Structures are given as C-alpha cells and as structure tokens.
Amino acid sequence: MRGKKICFCMAVTAMLLLSRNVSANGDLEIILDNKEVVLGSSIRMDLVFAEASGPAPGMPDIKGLKITHLRSTDIITRSESKTIYGKRYTYLIIPERPGIFTIGPFDFTHENKSYTFQKTQIQAISSFSDIGNPKQESSKEAAFKAEDNVFLTLNVSADRVFVNEIFQVEALLYFKDAQLADIKYPYLKHEGFFIQEFKAPRKSRQNIKGFMYHTIAFNSSAFAIAAGEQRFGPARISYNMQISDPLASSDLFSKNAKKNIPLSSESTDKAITVIPIPEKGRPEGFKGAVGNFKMDFDIKPRDVVKAGESIVLTMRITGKGNFTMLSAPYIARNEGIIYYQPDISEDSDSYKTFRQIIIPKSDAVNEIPCVLFSYFDPEEEKFVSIKKGPFPIRVLGAGNKVVPEPQSFSEKTADPPADEPLGEGIIYIKESPGRLKKQGAYLYKSAGYLRLHIIPVFLYFAVLIGCTKYRRLKEDIGYRRRKKAYPQAKRDLARSNKALNRQNGEKFYSYLFVCMQEYFANKFNLPQAGVTADIIEKNMKKAGSSPHIIGQVRKFFDDCYIARFTPYKYKEPEMRDMLSRARSIVESCRRII
C-alpha cells in the first residue's frame, strides 16, 4: 500500500514537471518556454548545468527543426557553504515546417560529464486559422512586429459571424525595454458593430522570438448590426512612455526623474463577413435573439386568482449569446387579459429576467396564454423555439373591485409613446411657497443659531453656582452667619434710628449696642453674649483688619458702655454721631472681614 502511494506521488510529480516544460536530469535542467509554436516564431530552450563553464554543447540535427545557440549566462549558487558555478545555455528552436517534432532522448558529454537529454515533443502549427482562440492568432501578428518595442494587435474570435452574434475581441498591447504609464482603454473603430465595454485589463508576459514582452490584454465582446463584408478596427491605445529626463538627471536630487512622452499604438483592422439571419424558417415570436439559451419560467399565483388581481410571469433567460439584443418572450394575446410592459433585470453576460404582470379582467379567462421564446443558434445555424404553457387557471369574480387599466409604462428600453402627454398623472402644484430661505443657508452655518448654544452652558453654571452657595448656606453655620451679619445689622440700625427719632436715648443705645454686638458675633461666628470689645479686637487683628478700624470699633464700644451705664443726659447730636459711626463701622467691616 505504502509502495503504491510512493509510486502515485512520483507519477504526479513527473506529470507536474512535464506540464511546466521543465525536465531535470541530475545536474542538468531543461526548460522550455512553450511546447506549441507557430511557424515563423520560436521556442526558447534553456539548458542549466549545475557545474559547468565551457562552451555550449551542440544539439543534434532534427529534420524540420532549427536549433541555434543564442547566449550563455553564468549562474552562481551557494549550497551547504559551497559556491557552485553553473551555466545556462539558451537555444532558440525554430520550426521550418508544421508538425510534431521529438527531441531526444539522447546522451551527450559536456566537460567530461555524461548527461541524458530526455524526450521532449514540440508542436509547430502552420496557420492561425487552425486555432480558434484570439490569443494564438495574436502571436502571429505579434511575431511580425516583434522587432518593435511597443506594438498593438487586435484579435477577434471569428471572421464569419451572423448579425447579432457575439464574438470576442481582444486588443493586446506588447511592450519591452520601455516603461508605459497612463495606458488608456483602447479606442476601436467599429462602424457596423456594437461593442460592449472593455473589462478590466489583464497583465501577463509572453516570449516572442526570444524576446520577453509585457502584455496588457483588453477584452470585450461585440456583435455585428449590419450584414455584408465589414472591416472591424483598427484599435488604437494611447499611453505615456516614461524615459529618463537627461536634464533632470544632472540634478543630484532628481536622478530618477522621468519624462512622459505621449504616444499611441495602432493595430491593423480585421475583415469580418457578417451573414444575415436567415428569413426562411423564422418562428413566430422571433425578435432577433442570437445564441444558445435556456428559459426558466414561473407563474405566481398558479392556480386561482381573482379578476382584477395581478399574475406575475417570471421568465429568466440564461445561456450563451447576445443578451443586449434579447427582447421579452412573446406572450400570446387574449382579449380578456390586460398586459403590462415587463420589468427587466439583467447581467449582460449571463442572464436576463423579464417580470411580466398580466391581469385577467373577468372570470371568463380560464388559462394563462402560452409564452414563446425563439432564438437563432449560430453554431447549429438553425432557429430554436422554447414554448411554455398555456397554463389553466381559475379566475374568481371581481366583486366590487374595479379592474385597472394600465396607466404608466415601466418600459425602460423603448421611447414612451409619442401621443402620451408628459406630466399626466402628477399631483397638483402647491399653493404656498412655504418657508423661503436663502439658498445653501443651513442652521449649522448660522452664527446666531450657534451663539444660542451658550445659553445652556450659562444656565448650567448659574445653577451650579447658586446650588453651591445654597448648600454652603445650609451646611456652614459660620458662613451663614457671616452672610446674614450685614443685612441684619442694617435692620437693627434702622430700629435704632427709630428709637433716636422718638428721642428714647436709653433704648437707642441699647439697640445700638446689641446691633453691633450681634453684628460682630455673626461676623466671627461667636456666641452673642460673649462678645466684648476685647474679643472683637482680638478677632479683628486675626482677620487682618487695619488698626484704624480696630481703634474706631474699640472707641465705639467704650462710648456705648459709658452712655449705657453712667447717669447721663442723652443728647441728640451725640446719638446721631454714634449711629453714624456704627453705620461706618458696619460698612467698613462688610468688605474687610
């Protein structure tokens, strides 16, 4: 079992090696860049010797095949700390006639070492008509132009097509030893043809006559719209060729400066014979579809429907061919059915779906008419028809439902009927212009509107400050008493003033003393009963009051004591002076303490 597995693995490895045109034989490796060649072009063959240095080994003469040595290249490899000097000998194999050629197997000696050249087969093709795909046709034209650094070829997949038959188009840009930039999509002269848009370009490399070219392929598809002998092309591609700018190169800082030279390459044109679609045998409902198609069909609802309600027929066309010119399948007419224009969804390469709505007008309708899709198959050169239906259906009475007539067409590809007045079926104009505003004036651009956003910030800070103060007043007794001191002193001084106006000296001095005592008790958060001139003086000094004010306060309290507790005749001017001094002290201490 294990042996079988090893054999299988070896076989797979051998096949892989063969498919990559590489064969290894001890210290010799043979590399072919292709196994198929068109007459006039060549295949490059490399013989890589692991350890060799001498001249190229001679190749045997093969009838119909010319093998010439092109160049020798040194190869240096390093393996297990050992430097190995090898050699690559490049040969060109040029076929002189079409056919299959076998090279080897044969043994040969090179620098006293024996090697075996394994059997290798090469196919030479005489003409491009043998090959169906445009890529190989391209290599013929490319071979003729291979001396140019940049050239363009135009290839088509068929030179004989029917009207509306899709064929592949390839514009292939070759370039070597040149840097191209800003390569534009090809411009293609296509009078009498409809060309689809080009797909994204593909890059690759190709060996032509021993030269390695970069290629950029632009692929598309096209179809003829008129019969006859037509010319397709030429194609032209514009690009910028980048060359080193000699003036800029002299500058130390712009050594790699490139200069763009706008250039374009043009291909040859192609002769295409366009055959009209035969008139004979055209089936009913044929609308110009060319290709090989299938039709999937679906009906909803399938069995029962009310008169006036819609039935949806979904027809999905898939396959290979011209989807651009593919029209909706033909549906047999029935007087009792209203037909709407189909809604179309498509992918230009793979499918087209027609969604057709039909409405039975009355319960007299008993079947959905047959659907017929006909196309012309260009390979078989015959017409093919796909028929679906008719399908029986039960239509119930409409009741009060009014069967609608089709009002607007959702036909997307055809012009609206000429007699259909535009604007029919729209809602009437508005009577008022509404809120007119300056064009492009948005609220977010309005400075005034943006300024309004300060309000919430201001509101927040107002609430924050107010709340903080309120909390402090509520929780900090000292702060509350300090805040309360001034307004209360004002009230008490007013009471003293009243006593003065009534000429009641005893009460006046009593009120005045209590007022000032309470004022300072509140200011310094002291029990009122314990407030004396000494305590006030001590606290004022601690609070940093000026000696002048402290002196004033002390004198005021002393005078008050004298006035209150000595037998004394109260004089109004003195009382007014005392009141004035009290006011002055209250005002002075308001800010200071």
In the complex, the residues that contact another protein under the rule CB under 8 A are: 184-188, 195, 197, 238, 344-346, 408-410, 412-416, 422-423, 425-439, 441-449, 451-460, 462-467, 469-470
Q: Which two tokens stand for residue 498?
A: 């009243």
Cβ at position 415, least distance to another protein in Å: 7
Of the pair 346, 574, the CB lying nearest another protein is at 346
Task: Measure the N-to-C terminal CA separation of the chain; round to a whole number of Å.
Answer: 108
- Shortest distance, CB of residue 46 to another protein, whole angstroms? 41
Strands 228-232 and 193-195: unpaired
Closest CB to another protein among residues 453, 591? 453
Which secondary structure element, helix H or strand E, spans residue 485, and what is its range? helix 477-501
Q: Which residues contact 217 (CB under 8 A, 6 or more apart)?
A: 135, 170, 171, 172, 173, 201, 202, 203, 204
Min separation Cβ 300 and another protein, Å: 20
* Residue 103 token pair: 């090279």
Closest distance of CB 13 from another protein, Å: 45
Whether residue 170 contacts residue 187, with contact meaning beta carbons closer than 8 Å, is answered with no
Which phi and psi (to 5°) does residue 258 adopt? Answer: -115, 150
- Residue 457 CB, shortest distance to another protein, in Å, is 7
CB of 240 to another protein, least distance (A): 13
* 85 and 111 Cβ atoms separated by less than 8 Å: no
User: Which lies closer to another protein via its Cβ, residue 171 or residue 516?
Assistant: 171
Q: What is the DSSP letter of 270?
A: E
**Whole-angstrom Cα distance, residue 581 to residue 9?**
120
Q: How far is the CB of 75 from another protein (least distance, A)?
A: 46
CB closer to another protein, 237 vs 500: 237
Q: How many CB atoms lie within 10 A of CB 581?
A: 18
DSSP 33: S
How far is CA 87 from each of CA 52, 110, 256, rounded to the nearest angstrom?
6, 12, 33
Q: How far is the CB of 435 from another protein (least distance, A)?
A: 6
Which residue, 247 or 427, is less far from another protein as judged by CB? 427
Toward another protein, which CB reaches closer, 425 or 530?
Answer: 425
Q: Name the phi and psi angles at 209, rounded to 5.
A: 50, 40
* Pick 112 or 413: Cβ nearer another protein: 413
Rounded to a whole number of angstroms, the minimum distance from the CB of residue 488 to another protein is 18
The smaller minimum CB distance to another protein, of residues 340 and 519, is found at: 340
Residue (of 195, 176, 177, 194) closest to 186 by Cα position? 195
Specify burial of residue 7 (Cβ count, 10 A radius: 0-12, 13-18, 19+). exposed
Whichever of 247 and 426 has its CB closer to another protein, that residue is 426
